[in-house]
Structure 1
Amino acid sequence: MFNIFSQTFMMNALILGMALAIAAAFLSPFLILNNQAMIADGMSHVAFTGIILGFLVGDQPLYFAIPFVVLASFVVTALSDKADLNNDAAISVVSSFSLAIGLIIATLGSGFNRSIESLLVGSILTVTTTEVIFAVALVVVVIAFVFLNYRSLVSMTFDLDFAKFSKIKTKVLRYSLSAVTALFVVIGVRTVGTLLISAFTVFPALISSQVSVSFKKTLTVGVIVSIVTIFFGIVASYHLGYPTGSTIVVLFTIILALAYIVKLVLRRN
């Protein structure tokens, strides 16, 4: 069953999938508890436009899309800070505008039909070596960011006023968290798809919170669940012929339902 990883393209998919799993799980609790659960969804729409523009200027759209989406993440954060918009509203404004522009460009351009389909549903089994390298670099950046700023991030997550009183640079952390999430989304869109990438940052924290009683355990369980789910999602999608991203999201949903049932049973006992 696992001999499929003797093939180069499957090994690339596995490495990239594991990198996305770890990065998503490390980001998930901070995004969920900071009421930024939808930022990945919003940034995926921005990434769609960034990658479309990247196709116009060269063969490596990630080089263009990464700074484009990071800049958009700063705009979202600035809007929520200074324009009296809540996070979801700011994300909606930027993502809707970006997606509209991307669709207009794709409509006016030629040869984008195949690219648009792959961007919407993802294509992890056709990833390039460059995308694998970007994914590995991403997970290193995410882990380093969380470990170096763990206490400050936790403080900002649970009590923003106390964090500000403690002279924690909350604004810098918020912009940094948005930027790191944007990096995750750009790489994820090319492999998982615009329609599904936000699920990767939502499910790990939701699942782990059903069975964990502390923040560290929530983070740890989220990483384990994410790795296991994405691994078996890749294997199942290959053998069943289903879209990989969709298969992974279905598995996440099943695990969330089971975790919730276990939580109810334990409470009654």
Structure 2
Amino acid sequence: MSMTTGQTGRLYLVGVGPGDPELMTYKAVRTLDQTRVWVAPKAKTDGASAALQIASAMVGAADKEVLEVRFPMKKIRLEQEHDPEVQQGWQKAARIVLERLEQGEDVAFPTLGDPGLYSTSFYLLNTLQEVCHDLPVTIIPGITAMSACSAQVNAPLGLGDDVLSVVPAAFDDARLRDILQTSDAVVLMKVFRRLPAVIALLDELGLTDKAVLLERCGMDDQHIYTDIREAADKELHYFSTLLVRKKQINKVAS
């Protein structure tokens, strides 16, 4: 890849929220509406882009040039060698974006939740910046899945002097045990494949009854498990978030 000189377009990394199109910000909607080229990530070659579906429901994509690119769903550990298939996905997406930018087109990259929280968008941005360090880019934050989950169960993520930990899908049991023991509240993201092991650990620490599991939060087929043991043998969706909160809010004496 190479970046030519001259007028280039601007890249917009647009957080489209956790699933409900109405949870997109006004700025996200306006940016997508005003940008003709959309590059949307998807996990499978023959699958659909969840971010694109959300954006299209609110903005409409009939008059857009929509380019879907595959980002393989594999664990990524920073400061370690990345899977070749994953790197190829980033590089292919970067070439597609770069071609449009060099033509003077602005490009919007809709991404689930918030771009700054475990988002595919920063892998794309980092790959592009290896070619062009001064790439014109604007990042538009979005509502996170954990914020939407908090709202659905009418409970805070953090309050007062709470220490909140956010744990991605690629967690290991030793670190998770320490986090659960030392934090006041914990968010486990994309817990779908690890739930039985997580339940066993929560049982051991006496925290199972302080956990709630939300599957496809904010979507039409949302499911909330207040007893997370009920979900142990189910095939959960990728969008599954577990909230653990140790402290209760003390009532003010009257």
Query: TM-score, normalized by length of structure 2?
Result: 0.25
Superposition TM-score, scaled by structure 1 size: 0.24
Higher normalized strand content (fraction of residues): 2
| Higher percent of residues as helix | 1
Structure having greater relative contact order (Cα 8 Å, sep ≥ 6): 1
